[in-house]
Structure 1
């Protein structure tokens, strides 16, 4: 039993192993990744420090027509509003070109921010452990190894309480159509499942990005909330445009998770004012 627990996404020394690789990208998605890589070079040119692909595609678990393409782009300087607009247009173009994917999400950061001390256990960890290099220098070389401990839990997801008011505003501002609500359900479901998982991560002693496995890990410690997180895991992969689901997140599951997280791990350290 101890050997099985020790191998949950960890290397023999207990550090989180980097997930994903180009070898795991399913053949059907390889043209999508190649097109995104080429477009990133065209759009950002010499300002592009490095770029990564993350999520289900480099993990090899993406589903044709259902999974999105997730990109993380690091620029040599702080991204501007124009840069974010350009990334959005790029994503829309790739999404339109390839029916194999259901949307493109692109995160934009500066090199200085990724490598900064305040981001060491948040964006830095994300790049080092969850992102597969696509272009440029791999910044993981400048970052430490990470263990699934309480510090990592606090600094990755210990700020849910700060985001719940914004989530409520987004729900209120969204029309009631399936098309408008579905992305919000997917986003919030994934976020809550990952938060529930990192709440128990140090006790579970491992790492996984599989939403259903995350929910099951959580269920072992909070059986009274297990079905809520299991349902969120399903909706994170197969979302439906249901406002009632979103309201249950911000009125019940989300506040409970935020309070329990603060009790167990504490609250995430304040971030720089320009945090996006």
Structure 2
């Protein structure tokens, strides 16, 4: 996201949705409202579909669901069934993802900052009360970067575990792509307290990281490549992912702007 003249982070904007993706947006909204209407408070789209730059057959459909209450196991199973069936019916998207939270998460002192930032700056409401409308735009800060990415170690560890299970090639490629994107974006937590920029694209994140940590530029280029074209052999990828994760954890513990 760009930073405006007042030092505030920009939003995703309101570009028209691409015609190719309107049917799947309509379908997933219809299913969620029809089959889980009492559970769902509001539905948001983010990512390339929200920005109006998705590629048919290649891009994911990313949705954030704010629920009225935390879901039960049965309710999670219902949402997963809706996700899978809609994904199967609409090959225009490579995958449908649900990022699930509740009104309690949105309001909480801990997780709420990340959710409020996410809805305000990355999401567009397609159903229900738009919670983002009452949120003041955020300014760049290290605290915000930490709130958004504080789960990076856990999430990357989960990707390592999943890839070690030797999934089918298509699943493996998806996991490599997702893990690489998480790595690149998570590096924003290594920013300085005085930094006033805010990276928007994967390339923005990679560029600012390489300026701070030139000794890790080769690894960053590797993860950036895999984020776009996931062709890495899973065993080698997990090895490099584990090493980079450990390196990041060390830098964070030392709380220094450079590992030099």
Verify same fold: TM over 0.5: yes
Q: Which residue of 1 aligns with 2:204?
A: 213
1:79–1:108 CA contact under 8 A, matched in 2: no
1: distance between equivalents of 2:141 and 2:16?
27
Q: Which moved more, 1:225-234 or 1:106-115?
A: 225-234
The yes-or-no answer on 1:15 pairing with 2:13 is no
1:157–1:195 CA contact under 8 A, matched in 2: yes
TM-score (norm 1): 0.83
The yes-or-no answer on 1:102 pairing with 2:94 is yes
2:226–2:232 CA contact under 8 A, matched in 1: no
Q: Deviations over 1:169-221 (max 9, x none)?
A: 3233x225312311210121011000123423766533344212221221122
The yes-or-no answer on 1:168 pairing with 2:169 is no
Q: Which residue of 2 aligns with 1:273?
A: none
Equivalent residue for 1:126, pick from 118, 126, 150: 118
1: distance between equivalents of 2:52 and 2:31?
22
Q: Which residue of 2 aligns with 1:236?
A: 227
Aligned with 1:107: secondary structure?
Answer: strand
1:42-191 pair list within 5 angstroms = 42-172=34-164, 174-191=165-182
Aligned with 1:230: secondary structure?
Answer: helix
Aligned with 1:64: secondary structure?
Answer: coil
State the aligned residue count. 256
Q: Deviations over 1:132-187 (max 9, x none)?
A: 11111111234443111111122222343344543433233x22531231121012
Equivalent residue for 1:192, pick from 169, 183, 204: 183
Aligned with 1:146: secondary structure?
Answer: coil
2: distance between equivalents of 1:24 and 1:221?
37
Query: Measured at CA, do residues 20 and 175 of structure 1 come closer, stay the same or move farther in structure 2, by a change above 3 Å?
Result: farther
- Structure 2's unaligned 5+ residue stretches are none
1:84–1:108 CA contact under 8 A, matched in 2: no
Runs of 4+ displaced beyond 6 Å: none
Query: Measured at CA, do residues 263 and 150 of structure 1 come closer, stay the same or move farther in structure 2, by a change above 3 Å?
Result: farther
2: distance between equivalents of 1:86 and 1:185?
27
Q: Which residue of 2 aligns with 1:29?
A: 21
Q: Deviations over 1:37-86 (max 9, x none)?
A: 11211121133211100111111232121111001111111112222222
Q: Which moved more, 1:253-262 or 1:62-71?
A: 253-262
Aligned with 1:17: secondary structure?
Answer: coil
Query: Measured at CA, do residues 43 and 240 of structure 1 come closer, stay the same or move farther in structure 2, by a change above 3 Å?
Result: farther
Q: Which residue of 2 aligns with 1:269?
A: none
Query: Measured at CA, do residues 261 and 134 of structure 1 come closer, stay the same or move farther in structure 2, by a change above 3 Å?
Result: farther
RMSD: 2.3
TM-score (norm 2): 0.88
- Structure 1's unaligned 5+ residue stretches are 1-7, 266-276
The alpha-carbon deviation at position 262 of structure 1 amounts to: 3.9
Q: Which residue of 2 aligns with 1:268?
A: none
Aligned with 1:145: secondary structure?
Answer: coil
Q: Which moved more, 1:79-88 or 1:186-195?
A: 79-88
